[in-house]
A and B are shown apart, each in its own frame.
Chain A
């Protein structure tokens, strides 16, 4: 069983971010970058499937040279090889879906697992678009994945509002990983060392025949408004009047 997993390089969710003077992106100096947490969950799930079924886990990432750090991190967790699509410009979810679709055509994986969204821009569209482009069945927001005994289908539990939904999808399929799917492993030291030797194939968007043309562009980023301190009210009347006049909720 061959499983393709995507990893995106994102700023550490805990980092204090500052916006660049042009207002179009964040300042990256001094900011730590990590594997998108949902993608880590995707890698973990791929490894667990592989450990049960045998097979190969291939990780793919798109970006400039630095994203190989995140590919190596996934290899250190236990993935077998990497694909690095070298592209330094800007892109949107549809571009990524197009690039991934080409890689799927080359690699022909049985399962493609993506994080349900990247925690930097929170677009959360690449998985759906990829499924559409490939015409594959998809199961998004997975909280549990089981491969049927005949290895032809995946039974996926999804977290939906107010409950769980269980879907069966035929392979090959697209799965996107939700938070409670698993807890990613901590890379063992021998695997960290082995990861340095594992093959990472470098591709370009041109070689894949994809013309990157973002349809979505960032116009402006702004910081969230600073939270103001609360006030203590003297009496119930006071509270009611404030709710009426200031908060305007009643």
Chain B
């Protein structure tokens, strides 16, 4: 009778579990194709390193992340090893008297040892976890019922297991493998409390059933909860983005026939990998915790972008699976992924009052999408390597290209750029005006140049950034670098255009610039703009443009190393360097800008609390430079305040957008007489 019940419970629980998992997998496969099957060896190693060795949980091993990482390590490995014990328990339910005894000494003893140790470790992790939730109470966590249910279930599983271990340890009917001595914790319990009698048979049966039912319930709860990450995260680590390019956007071919919409407004327009990000999400909230928009009171939460896509997929998926071959789901029968204005307003209001309800929403509002600075903080810290930014850009593409729905200041900036090739909308024929009197050559005047200096729109048109371009030119001239500029043949690189979702305009710009580079046989490009750097280096190869691109911090570093420039004038000042997201997180250039500044005699340097890969955005990336910031605090003020807390004399930047934002921040605080915002090139040039 018992055997039949056990068999029935197992069949029902596993049947439901596999049904749910297969259904979810079918939803994910509704997504568009994407090749993430190259470099199998690297992928396998990444999966082993990050998932099996759990290194993904220790990306920034400090404070709460370190604590949670240790806790997660104990639970992960606890469950991996306890799984063996659970197999023994389940088979034992089907075949009375079954056990791994046949392994004999010492294997079975080691087995007993591991099970006892791991059960204890998981209990310890549960205590750590509850302490974290109730005492530390990090704002980034979700505090919904499911989380507590899971903790309760795991604790229950471990306590029942422990009880059975204790009982087995003193049960004369169990073959004597000196169990009590091998089980470190259950054995100690036996000795400490002088346990001599096993639990009576009926009570043991009850405990066994409670344990098994909890186990099976847990199994079935996995696909319905954040614990789905148990199934999603490991493959997600395998299918990780290995391109070395942080924003791997969907290619769009505008010449394709019969395409009427561009970008993503429906879940199935995302790739299967983008859809897999949802099931992989652990809801740990680290992305949102580091997000500059979320941190300054904007409606955007990168975690919710991922989760809302998942919820939308789950809401629409069943309808898709019912469709017959060749049938399409009518638009009015689907749950929309992009919220309309009324829905967005409702969400904005609701979010403020009940932030926890946000993550079960099935739609995303345009305000969330426009709040993103594409700084990459979310992706940097995500333990399952989700790629938030490209989801956001894909949806922006739909809003901009298909619907032409965007903040009106952005449409004005697009028009400026379309006409004059720069977002300021200043005359394209004025692009070289900044260089008057500097004696620099255009590429037509000096075709056999060693390096092309890509000035960028900011360097060419923005008064503050023109000074940086001038300083950099003087450095190159002093070092006798053979360089040239494109002059009026340079146009917008397309960075912000692409991040804003205007792929059509971006591709036109990219192709135009690639043509120009080709015309002058350009191989090497230096720029002071990390946005141009990223775009030319990582985006242009998609359109056949491959160049050696270096940032001015790298060139200056090289000139210093080669002794071609000498810094002699001391700067007795305290300098703090603000990492540009596009230089740092998106391109891993952290050392050069710092070393360049540190090369100035007598300079003192201090790091902000958030620096290197944990740096806090200035607020201007992802086309935010051209958008008004109405909601919450201004990101640049928050960042400037952080810099000012060090009482610096100089805040150093290495990006024209950061310059504008931090400079504005300093002026906002009214401290511009005491604190200077300088580009690293200006600092170097003044010290020469």
As a 0/1 sequence over residues 5 to 33 of chain A, the CB contacts with chain B under 8 angstroms (1 = contact) are: 00000001011100000000000001010
Closest Cβ of chain B to A113, distance in Å, is 19
When distances are taken between beta carbons in the complex, the residues of chain A under 8 Å from B401 are 188-189
Bound Cα distance from A184 to B412, whole angstroms: 8
Is B426 part of the contact surface with A, judged by Cβ < 8 Å? yes
Assess the A185–B430 pair: CB atoms within 8 A: no
Assess the B425–A14 pair: CB atoms within 8 A: yes
Bound Cα distance from A187 to B401, whole angstroms: 8
When distances are taken between beta carbons in the complex, the residues of chain A under 8 Å from B355 are none
Closest to A31 in B: B429
A190's partner among B260, B426, B428 (CB-CB below 8 A) is B260
A14-B420, A32-B419, A183-B408 known; A188+B429 contact, CB < 8 A: no
When distances are taken between beta carbons in the complex, the residues of chain B under 8 Å from A34 are 419
When distances are taken between beta carbons in the complex, the residues of chain A under 8 Å from B429 are 15-16, 30
A185-B411, A186-B414, A186-B415 known; A16+B427 contact, CB < 8 A: yes
Is A86 part of the contact surface with B, judged by Cβ < 8 Å? no
Closest to A182 in B: B408
Assess the B261–A14 pair: CB atoms within 8 A: no
Is B400 part of the contact surface with A, judged by Cβ < 8 Å? yes
Is A125 part of the contact surface with B, judged by Cβ < 8 Å? no
Bound Cα distance from A188 to B420, whole angstroms: 19
As a 0/1 sequence over residues 406 to 419 of chain B, the CB contacts with chain A under 8 angstroms (1 = contact) are: 10101110110001
As a 0/1 sequence over residues 170 to 199 of chain A, the CB contacts with chain B under 8 angstroms (1 = contact) are: 000000000000011111111110000000
Is B221 part of the contact surface with A, judged by Cβ < 8 Å? no
Closest Cβ of chain B to A224, distance in Å, is 15
Assess the B404–A186 pair: CB atoms within 8 A: yes
A16-B429, A16-B430 known; A189+B420 contact, CB < 8 A: no
As a 0/1 sequence over residues 53 to 81 of chain A, the CB contacts with chain B under 8 angstroms (1 = contact) are: 00000000000000000000000000000
Interface of B is mostly: helix
When distances are taken between beta carbons in the complex, the residues of chain A under 8 Å from B414 are 186
Assess the B412–A12 pair: CB atoms within 8 A: no
When distances are taken between beta carbons in the complex, the residues of chain B under 8 Å from A188 are 400-404
- Best-buried of A12, A14, A185, A189 by chain B (most CB within 10 Å): A189
- Best-buried of A14, A183, A185, A191 by chain B (most CB within 10 Å): A14
Assess the A191–B404 pair: CB atoms within 8 A: yes
Closest Cβ of chain B to A127, distance in Å, is 24
A32-B420, A184-B411 known; A189+B262 contact, CB < 8 A: yes
As a 0/1 sequence over residues 320 to 338 of chain B, the CB contacts with chain A under 8 angstroms (1 = contact) are: 0000000000000000000
A183-B408, A183-B412, A190-B261 known; A14+B402 contact, CB < 8 A: no
When distances are taken between beta carbons in the complex, the residues of chain B under 8 Å from A14 are 419-420, 425-428, 430
**Number of interface residues, chain A, beta carbon within 8 A:** 17
Closest to B254 in A: A189
Closest to B416 in A: A14
Is B504 part of the contact surface with A, judged by Cβ < 8 Å? yes
Bound Cα distance from A194 to B628, whole angstroms: 32
Bound Cα distance from A184 to B416, whole angstroms: 12
A34-B419, A184-B411 known; A190+B425 contact, CB < 8 A: no
Bound Cα distance from A34 to B414, whole angstroms: 14
When distances are taken between beta carbons in the complex, the residues of chain A under 8 Å from B427 are 12, 14-16
When distances are taken between beta carbons in the complex, the residues of chain A under 8 Å from B404 are 185-188, 191
Bound Cα distance from A185 to B406, whole angstroms: 9
Assess the B402–A189 pair: CB atoms within 8 A: yes
Contact residues, B414-444 vs A (CB, 8 A): 414-415, 419-420, 425-430
Assess the A186–B406 pair: CB atoms within 8 A: yes
Assess the B402–A12 pair: CB atoms within 8 A: no
When distances are taken between beta carbons in the complex, the residues of chain B under 8 Å from A15 are 427-429
Contact residues, B367-411 vs A (CB, 8 A): 400-404, 406, 408, 410-411
Bound Cα distance from A187 to B428, whole angstroms: 22
Closest Cβ of chain A to B223, distance in Å, is 39
Bound Cα distance from A186 to B406, whole angstroms: 9
Closest to A12 in B: B419
A34-B419, A184-B411 known; A189+B426 contact, CB < 8 A: no
When distances are taken between beta carbons in the complex, the residues of chain A under 8 Å from B400 are 186, 188
Bound Cα distance from A190 to B265, whole angstroms: 15
When distances are taken between beta carbons in the complex, the residues of chain A under 8 Å from B428 are 14-15, 32
A14-B426, A30-B429, A189-B401 known; A183+B411 contact, CB < 8 A: yes
Closest to A34 in B: B419
When distances are taken between beta carbons in the complex, the residues of chain B under 8 Å from A185 are 404, 411
When distances are taken between beta carbons in the complex, the residues of chain B under 8 Å from A187 are 404
Closest to A78 in B: B404
Bound Cα distance from A190 to B401, whole angstroms: 8
As a 0/1 sequence over residues 134 to 165 of chain A, the CB contacts with chain B under 8 angstroms (1 = contact) are: 00000000000000000000000000000000
Bound Cα distance from A189 to B427, whole angstroms: 25
Closest Cβ of chain B to A195, distance in Å, is 13
Bound Cα distance from A213 to B164, whole angstroms: 107
When distances are taken between beta carbons in the complex, the residues of chain A under 8 Å from B411 are 183-186
Closest to A33 in B: B419
Closest to A40 in B: B415
Closest Cβ of chain A to B371, distance in Å, is 20
When distances are taken between beta carbons in the complex, the residues of chain A under 8 Å from B425 are 14
Closest Cβ of chain B to A228, distance in Å, is 17
Closest to B430 in A: A16
Contact residues, B29-79 vs A (CB, 8 A): none
As a 0/1 sequence over residues 190 to 201 of chain B, the CB contacts with chain A under 8 angstroms (1 = contact) are: 000000000000
When distances are taken between beta carbons in the complex, the residues of chain B under 8 Å from A189 are 254, 262, 401-402, 504
When distances are taken between beta carbons in the complex, the residues of chain A under 8 Å from B504 are 189, 192
Closest to B406 in A: A186
Closest to B488 in A: A30
Closest Cβ of chain A to B398, distance in Å, is 10
Closest to B428 in A: A32
Closest to B415 in A: A186
Closest Cβ of chain A to B291, distance in Å, is 27
Closest Cβ of chain B to A47, distance in Å, is 11
Bound Cα distance from A185 to B400, whole angstroms: 11
Closest to B425 in A: A14
Bound Cα distance from A189 to B406, whole angstroms: 14
Bound Cα distance from A183 to B409, whole angstroms: 8
Bound Cα distance from A186 to B426, whole angstroms: 18
When distances are taken between beta carbons in the complex, the residues of chain A under 8 Å from B415 are 184, 186
Assess the B402–A190 pair: CB atoms within 8 A: yes
Further 11 A-B residue pairs, CB within 8 A, beyond A14-B426, A15-B428: A14-B419, A15-B427, A34-B419, A183-B412, A185-B411, A186-B404, A186-B411, A188-B402, A189-B254, A189-B262, A189-B504
Residue numbers of A with Cβ under 8 A of B are 12, 14-16, 30, 32, 34, 183-192
List 16 A-B residue pairs with CB atoms under 8 Å apart, sorted by A's residue number.
Answer: A12-B419, A12-B420, A14-B419, A14-B425, A14-B428, A15-B427, A30-B429, A32-B420, A183-B408, A183-B411, A184-B411, A186-B400, A186-B404, A188-B403, A189-B254, A190-B261
Lowest 8 CB-CB distances: which A-B pairs, in order?
A: A188-B404, A186-B411, A14-B427, A183-B408, A189-B401, A16-B429, A186-B414, A15-B427
